[in-house]
Amino acid sequence: MPAVRTVLIVGGGAAGCATAILLAEAGVQVEIVESRPDVPAVGSGITLQGNALRVLRDLGVWEPVSAAGYAFDALGIRAPDPAGTVVAEIPDVRTGGPDLPATLGMPRPVLARVLLDRAAEVGAKVRFGVSPTALRQDDAGVDVTFSDGADGRYDLVVGADGIHSWTRRELGIDAEPVSTGMGIWRVYVPRPADVVRTDLTYGGRCYIAGYCPTGEDTMYAYLVEDVQDRSGLDQAEQIAVFRELAGAYGGPWDDVRAGLTDDTPVNYARFESHVVDGPWHRGRVVLAGDAAHSCPPTIAQGAAQGFEDAVVLAELLLGAGRVDDDLLDRYAARRCARAREVVDASVQIGRWMLDHTPPAEADVPGLMRRVSTLVTERP
């Protein structure tokens, strides 16, 4: 008998779906409530490193993920000059093992749909447009009231409701994300034929200019700047700002600019980060993914870390006879140091740029190598 028979997952994102799939596959009755009305039809792309791909394979979705995405094994570094000169080509570490690519880019809405479909396929019940409004727990379970008026009782509640988690606040855990000082523009555009991997340019008009192919015909491109209030801009103004900032970069960036239209999906987000110092639970309610830790995407490990939470939490729940403080303490103990190292490294890379630390002191490749070595180990 696993430690739980019934589990409520709050949030149908990467961490929530992965937890749901692993538990439901093992026969646990799982419900996901997702506040959005459905998977968004449009969105940006996501860069998934090998350790994320390893989990996706374990979830049984490697086939649709690899079919939809674009895999590659190297990172390019380009100069901020008019030609976008390639100054380095660095082989990426295959952190998920030699039989998986180092990196894969894919459209976010496709990843979300693949994960939710798999959760439903293995028996999880998914309710869209629903949030919990109250949690009351005793020694034996958690009573939950929902925004649609329904209620239910569960052996465990997993708060996988993202960086601004309602569950975290409801538990009284006082660890809110803070701005790291940077903001990122992202556009989703046609892939020029010569974009076959991520290339990054450090410096120039922005701190980072980069892109990632997400399929045969698509990619996303991003520009990182000092964080500012961009909320007043309409779609046309946002595209105009992106076009202007991107004008400083050459090579494939000429095609990125040419691919921009009035309808190009464009998005501005602030970089934020936090780590909840363990424990990650109160009683029978436990956090996973961005609810517990968040990082700026400077090394593209956010989703991977959420997937790893799911793997460890499910392993412990399925291997124990009862759920108690000891089990959930062990979950946070196994995850917290690793997540913190990834968060700290992700923040440090941005900090060096904000402080204009000389390249001799800002060892970005060394830090990236350290994180790659860490996440190559199974969590």
Ligand X SMILES: Cc1cc2nc3c(=O)[nH]c(=O)nc-3n(C[C@H](O)[C@H](O)[C@H](O)COP(=O)(O)OP(=O)(O)OC[C@H]3O[C@@H](n4cnc5c(N)ncnc54)[C@H](O)[C@@H]3O)c2cc1C
Interface residue list for ligand X (CB under 6 A): 10-16, 33-36, 46-47, 131, 160-162, 166, 184, 269, 289-290, 297, 300-304, 306
75, β-bridge pairs: 90, 198
| Residue 222 beta carbon to ligand X: minimum distance, rounded to whole angstroms | 8
Contact indicator for 3, 96 with CB cutoff of 8 Å: no
Structure tokens given for 302? 């956010």
90 to 28, 102, 346: CA distances (angstroms): 43, 12, 19
Task: Return the bridge partners of 286, or none.
Answer: 158, 281
Q: Residue 140 Cβ, how far from ligand X at the closest point, in Å?
A: 24
Specify the 3-state DSSP secondary structure of 278.
coil
Measured from the CB atom, the residue of 8 and 79 that comes closer to ligand X is 8
Pick 361 or 377: Cβ nearer ligand X: 377
Measure the CA angle with vertex 55, ends 336 and 120; round to 5°.
110
Residue closer to ligand X (CB basis): 137 or 254: 137
Percent of the chain as helix, strand, coil, to the nearest 5: 35, 30, 35
44 versus 284: smaller Cβ distance to ligand X: 44
Among residues 35 and 238, whose Cβ is nearest to ligand X?
Answer: 35
CB nearer ligand X, residue 69 or residue 141: 69
Given a contact cutoff of 8 angstroms between Cβ atoms, the answer to whether 348 and 367 are in contact is yes
Closest contact distance (angstroms) between CB of 313 and ligand X is: 12
> Nearest approach, Cβ of 230 to ligand X (angstroms)?
13
Q: Find the shortest distance in angstroms from Cβ 45 to ligand X.
A: 7
Select the residue whose beta carbon is closest to ligand X and give its number. Answer: 13
* Closest approach of ligand X to the CB of residue 82, in Å: 27
Tokens coding 160? 């996988």
Beta strand 74-78 with 198-202 is: parallel
Q: Quickly count: other Cβ atoms within 10 Å of residue 366's Cβ.
A: 8
Q: Which residue has the tokens 């239910």?
A: 152
